[in-house]
Amino acid sequence: MGIRLPTWVWIGAVALSCVAGMVNVVGFLGFEHQAVSHMTGSTSQLGMALAQGDWRAVGHLWGLLIAFSLGAMVSGLLIQDSALQLGRRYGVALALESLLLLAAIPLFKQHQIWGALAAAMACGLQNAMATTFSGAVVRTTHLSGMFTDLGIGLGHLLRGLPLQVRRLTLSGLIISGFLAGGMIGAWLFVRWQYDALLAPALLTGLTGLGYVSYQQWARWRR
C-alpha cells in the first residue's frame, strides 16, 4: 500500500474523529445517556425496548436511527459520492453539521429528545461525507471497522504477509482522535454541561468556512 495520502486527508480524519468523540460523550453524559455517533448499540437497545414493550424508548430510539440516516442522506445529496476528493461541497456539509450541533445545545438544556436527534443527524452527515480514499476506509464516527482493520493487520503480520501500512496508520489515528475527543468532551461537559458542544460546533463551522474560502481562493487564482 505505497500510495501516499494527502495531508488534508490525515488532518481531516483526525479532526472529525475528535469531533465525533466529543459529541458522543456529551450524548452519553446527557439526560438520556444515549450514544449519538454510532447506531449499533441504539439498534440493540431498540430490540430490547420492543421486547419489553417500552414504547417511549422505542420512539426515541427509532428517532435516533432515522435522524442519523437523514444526516447521511443530506450528505449524499450534497456530495453525491463516497470517495474523498477536493472540490466537492465539504464546506457546506461541515457548516450544516455545525448548525445542527448548535441547535442541539438549547434542546439538550430543555431535556428534549430533539437535542439527541440533532446531534445524531450531525454525526450521520459527518460519517457519510466520505468513506474511502484510495482504498483506505475513512469512517470518523465509530471505531468497530478501525479495530477490525488493526486486528487483520496483526494477523497478517503474524503470518508474514505484507502490511497495509497506510490503512493501519489511518485506523490508529482515527481511534486516537476519537479517544482524545472523548476525553476533551468529558472534561468540557463537567465545566460547561451542554455548552461543551460549542467546541465541536466551532471546529466544524470554522473548518467548513475555511474550506469554502480555500475553494474561492483557488478559483480566483486560475
| Residue-wise pLDDT tens digits, 83-110 | 666 656 888 899 999 999 999 999 999 9
Q: Return d(Cα 156, Cα 151) in angstroms, integer.
A: 9
C-alpha grid cell for residue 206? Answer: 470554522
Percent of the chain beyond pLDDT 70? 90
Structural Rg of the chain based on CA atoms: 18
- Single pTM value for the model: 0.90
How many Cβ atoms from other residues are within 10 Å of residue 48's Cβ? 12
- Of 46-55, 144-153, 189-198, give the lowest mean pLDDT range: 144-153
Mean pLDDT of the chain: 88
Is residue 70 scored above 60 in pLDDT? yes
Mean pLDDT score, 153-174: 87
- Of 21-25, 128-132, 162-166, 192-196, give the lowest mean pLDDT range: 128-132
C-alpha grid cell for residue 208? Answer: 467548513
Q: Residue type at 95?
A: A
Is residue 3 scored above 60 in pLDDT? no
What local confidence, expressed as pLDDT, does residue 2 receive? Answer: 44
Could you say which DSSP state residue 3 is in? P
Q: Contact, 194 vs 30, CB < 8 A? A: yes
What local confidence, expressed as pLDDT, does residue 17 receive? Answer: 94
